[in-house]
Structure 1
C-alpha cells in the first residue's frame, strides 16, 4: 500500500510538471472583481497586456463588480484549478471583507493559491483649497476641538478603515459621511459640501495636481511617486499610520505549484519592465513583483489580521 501511495504521488508530480511545461496553451481568463476604469482594473490591464506579449497568449479581462468584490472573487474560488482562471485580488477581497461581512462564499486564506503581489496604492486625505486646516495636525486639532463635527467623505470601506486608524492613533473623533463611489465624494468636496475626504491617490491625484484639491497627507510610509509634494502622516508627526490599498493575483486553490511558479516568474519579468513600471506609477501605483507565492500568502495573512482588527474595533459594517 505504501508503494502504491508513493507511486500515486509521483504520478501527480509528473502530471503537474507536464502541465506546467505546456502552460499556457490557451487564453487565460483574468477576473477583475471591480468596475472597468477603476484603479485595480486599469493596473490589471497594464500588467495583463505585457504578460500577454511575453507568454504569447491572450489574457481575457472579465470585470465582475459588485458586493465589494465578492461576486468576482467567488467565481474564481469555484473555477477549475488549471491556471486558466485568475483573480485580481485586493485588500478589500482578501483582508477587509472577511471582517466586514458576517459570512462570505469563499475563504480568503484557504480557497486561493497566491501568485504574485502587484503593488500598492496610498490613500490620501484631501480638502478644498480654502479649507482652514492646511496640515494633518491642523485637521486633528480641529476634530479634537469639535468632536464628531468635522465631516469626512468616505467612498469605500478602505477609506472608512483609514479614518478609523487615524482616530485610533490620534484620539480625534470625526463625522464620517458615506458615499458609494469616489466620483460623487470628490464632486461634493469640490463643491464645498464636505470639507474633507479620504480616497486613493489614483482617484484624487489629477485634482490635487491641478490645484482643485489640497493634498494634506498620504497614508503610506513613503511619499507617493505621483504626489511627491504631499507629505506622509508620519512626516506630519502622526505615528503608526502606514496603510495602503493593494492588489495581488490569485488562482483557485489546488492549482499545480509549477503553474503558479511559472506565473510568478512571468509576473516578476513584467514588473521589472521599465515601461510597465512607468505606466503603473503614472496611475499612482507603487509596483513590486518581488514576492514569492509563499511570501504573498504570509503578506495576506498579516493584512487580514491588521484590517480585521481595525474593522472590529471601529464597529465598521459593510454598506
Structure 2
C-alpha cells in the first residue's frame, strides 16, 4: 500500500499540533481576520456547512493545510466547515468519495500531487478519473523536497553526485517513504534526467527511511523539506539541492537541482482544492475568490510557513493546465520506473 510523503505526524504529535493551531473538530466562525458576509450575500452561496474531504489521516500536512484554509472559509462565509478524513489507498478512498459527492459546492476535496498526478499511472484500478471527475479551484501550497545525504558520503553537490554515480553505476542507494510516493518518484526523475543508475530502497514511511539514512545504511534521499530540516540544521544530514524550480525561502543558500546542471528537473509535493465536476461556474468562482483571499491572509501565510509549505494561488483555468502537465510528466516517470500498486 502506497504511503504518500505528505503525512509526517502521528499519534500524540498529531493531536498536539492540531491543538496548537486551534484546528481540532469542526471549524466554526473564528477570530481569524476575514470579510464578514454582508446582508445581500445571505441569500447566496453558501447557506449551509461545507465539508472538505481530506484523503489522509488527521495531523498530516494535507489535513493541517485543509484545516487552516477551512478555518478562514468558516469566518468568511459565516458557516461551519467540517473536515472529513478518509484515508487509504494513497488518497484514492477520499478521492472516490469526493468525486461521487453532489456538485453543489458543499463538498470540497484537498487533493495532492499523488491523488491528481501520480496515482492514475501507479494504481492498476483507479476508482475515479482525477481530471474528468473534478473541477479544479486552485493550488494552495507547495512543499519542496530536499536532496540530502549522510555526511560520510563523498559528494556535496549535484555535479559531484552525478559524477560519482557514473563512476560507480548501481552503487548509490536512494531511500523513499514507499513505492510510488512523491519522494520515490523525485529520485526516479533525477535518475532519468541525469542518466545514472541508482538503486531504490522503499520504506514504510519517511521516518524509518530517514533513520537508515542517518545511520549511513542508505546513501541519499529526496525527503520532504519539513521532515529533513531538523537534521540539516543539526548537521546530521547534508543538503545537496532542493527539487523546486526556485530556491526555498527556508534554505536560500541551497541551490535547486535545475540550476545545478539538470535544467528540466522540478518535483514538488503540491496541494490543491477541488470541487466535484459539474459544480456551477458561479460557485466555482465564489470558492476560488474566497480561497485565494485566504491564501493572502497574513495569519494563513504564517501557519502555512510553520508547516514548511509555500502558499500558492491561481485561477481554476491555470490549475487545470498545471494538473494536465503534471499528469503527463509523472505518467512518464512512473512508466519508466516500473512502479505499480495493485
Q: CA deviation at 1:41?
A: 1.9
Q: Distance in 2 between matches of 1:268 and 1:121?
A: 18
Contact residue 19 and residue 259 of structure 1 kept, 8 A: no
Q: Structure 1: give runs of 5+ residues left out of the alignment.
A: 1-17
Contact residue 152 and residue 216 of structure 2 kept, 8 A: no
Q: CA deviation at 1:259?
A: 1.2
Decide which of 314, 317, 325 is 1:294's aligned counterpart.
317
Q: Distance in 2 between matches of 1:64 and 1:208?
A: 33
- Could you tell me which residue of structure 2 aligns to residue 99 of structure 1? 121
SS in 2 for 1:62: strand
Kindly indicate whether residue 216 of structure 2 is the aligned counterpart of residue 192 of structure 1.
yes
Correspondence list, 1:193-272, <5 A? 193-272=217-296
- Could you tell me which residue of structure 2 aligns to residue 146 of structure 1? 168
TM-score by length of 1: 0.89
- Could you tell me which residue of structure 2 aligns to residue 33 of structure 1? 55
Q: Distance in 2 between matches of 1:310 and 1:98?
A: 12
- Could you tell me which residue of structure 1 aligns to residue 107 of structure 2? 85
Kindly indicate whether residue 340 of structure 2 is the aligned counterpart of residue 317 of structure 1.
yes
Per-residue CA deviations over 1:46-92 (Å, capped at 9, x if unaligned) read: 22222222222222112222111101100101111121111101111
- Could you tell me which residue of structure 1 aligns to residue 67 of structure 2? 45
Decide which of 195, 205, 226 is 1:171's aligned counterpart.
195
Q: Distance in 2 between matches of 1:261 and 1:20?
A: 17
Report the structure, 1 or 2, having the larger helix content.
1
Contact residue 71 and residue 81 of structure 2 kept, 8 A: yes
How many residue pairs get aligned? The number is 301
Q: CA deviation at 1:138?
A: 1.9
Contact residue 124 and residue 340 of structure 2 kept, 8 A: no
Correspondence list, 1:5-16, <5 A? none
Q: CA deviation at 1:175?
A: 0.7
TM-score by length of 2: 0.83
Q: CA deviation at 1:285?
A: 1.6
Query: Could you say which structure has the larger radius of gyration?
Result: 1
Decide which of 318, 321, 326 is 1:303's aligned counterpart.
326
